Every structure is written in structure tokens, then in C-alpha cells.
Amino acid sequence: MLKAVYNATTTSGSYSFEERMGCGFGACMGCSCKTKYGNKRICKDGPVLVKEEIIW
Ligand code: FES
């Protein structure tokens, strides 16, 4: 759903990737998301990422 919103909008903004997570403290990499700045762990580096850095 977030990807659909991303594709439908032209304005900048922030996206919250909050969801159920494996460990929740950065050890399992189960919540990693590709960004312009490398993979980010949603539990440690998020859960909010800005639109411009997200790679779907
Ligand atoms: S939930 Fe394990 S690294 Fe984020």
C-alpha cells in the first residue's frame, strides 16, 4: 500500500514502516529496507523514512 501511495503522489513526505518485527533491536536484519544510503533497519533507523531516500 505504501508503494501505491508513493507512486500516486508527487509531493515529498515521510512514510512509516511500523509493523511486526523479528527481534526489534537491530540484530536479525528482518526489517531492512533499501535506501539511497544503503540498507536501513526499520526498528533501529526508522520506522519513519523520508520519501526521497526510499528505494522500492
Ligand atoms: S527486527 Fe530485527 S533487525 Fe529489525
CA of 35 from ligand 1 middle (Å) equals 16
CA of 14 from ligand 1 middle (Å) equals 20
Domains and CATH numbers, the chain: 2-53 (2.10.240)
CA of 3 from ligand 1 middle (Å) equals 21
Mutating to test ligand 1, I would choose from 20, 25, 33, 49 the residue with most ligand atoms within 8 A of its C-beta, which is 25
pLDDT bucket at 5, cuts 50 / 70 / 90: confident
pLDDT bucket at 9, cuts 50 / 70 / 90: confident
| Torsion angle of C-alpha atoms 3, 4, 6, 10, degrees rounded to 10 | 160
Q: Which residue has the cell 544503503?
A: 38
10-52 confidence digits (pLDDT tens): 888 899 998 889 999 999 999 999 999 999 999 999 899 999 9
Q: Which atom of ligand 1 is nearest to the CA of 21?
A: 1
How far is Cα 24 from Cα 28, in angstroms, rounded to an integer? 8
